[in-house]
Amino acid sequence: MPFYRLEELCERKENCLVRPILWDDPFENFLFSTVGLEADGRRVDFAFRDDFYGQCWTDADETDAMWRIYSRDKDGVRVQCTPHKLLAGLYRSEDLFRDICYFIGKMSYHTKEELCSLLHDVDFVRSVAFDGNGAKQCETFLLKRKAFSHESEVRLLYQLRATNAAAGDHFFYPLDPLLMFDELVLDPRLDKSTAESQNARLIDLGFTCRVRQSELYQLPERYSRLS
């Protein structure tokens, strides 16, 4: 995330999940965005498609592509935590629907043809439409085209139930990043002065976890000394 977003997260102590409709890939939420027809001509759509919110993570080691895509201004910071801590931070034991609205899952990657074929799989569509515990609906948010497989994505998902207040396109919930994150990695393209300044700022914000600058673009010591 951009460094200023991490600062905002520390100040507000709120995490934000968004509706999948806001994600860039047009194939996102592909099933819920379709409209089907019954044998008698009646239109069928998935009324609960706007009840889901999500956030995208990765379990991959850092890559050049991830820094360039998600740190376009070269001031990003990579935050790390465990899947258990991530889900536990969202989970609310007092929630009446606590067993059927909190999810975390790893993406699976498919060809465009494979994804489109699911729209014609009657058994699959029915299993999604009539699943009462939300798991099948969540599975549709864990399908993506193979062109994105380098992201090795993991998604945190939440289904907003009818008894809860409407959240619009964004769902906020309390989260303390000082307790959540186990490591912070600064952008490898930062100059030394900026990296030191950001590190000092993180200490001021109260972080005690490991903080380091990525060495992705640094030459090994024995080469960097060559003239």
pLDDT top residue among 118 and 91: 91
Over range 52-80, report the average pLDDT: 93
Residues 157-171 as b or e (16 or more Cβ within 10 Å = b)? bbbbeeebeebeeeb
Do the strands 183-186 and 210-213 form a parallel or antiparallel pair, or are they unpaired? parallel
Structure confidence at residue 122 (pLDDT): 76
Most confident range, picked from 37-51, 96-110, 148-162, 181-195: 181-195
Q: Name beta bridge partners: 103.
A: 157
pLDDT at 42 over 70: no
Task: Name the token pair of 134.
Answer: 């939300």
Tokens 């609960």 locate to 48
pLDDT top residue among 61 and 162: 61
Question: H or E stretch including 52?
Answer: strand 52-58
The conformation of residue 27, written as its DSSP 8-state character, comes to: T
Question: Do 116 and 41 touch, CB atoms closer than 8 A?
Answer: no
Comparing CA positions, the residue from 17, 158, 12 lying closest to residue 95 is 158
Residue 20 CB-density burial (10 A; 0-12 exposed, 13-18 middle, 19+ buried): buried
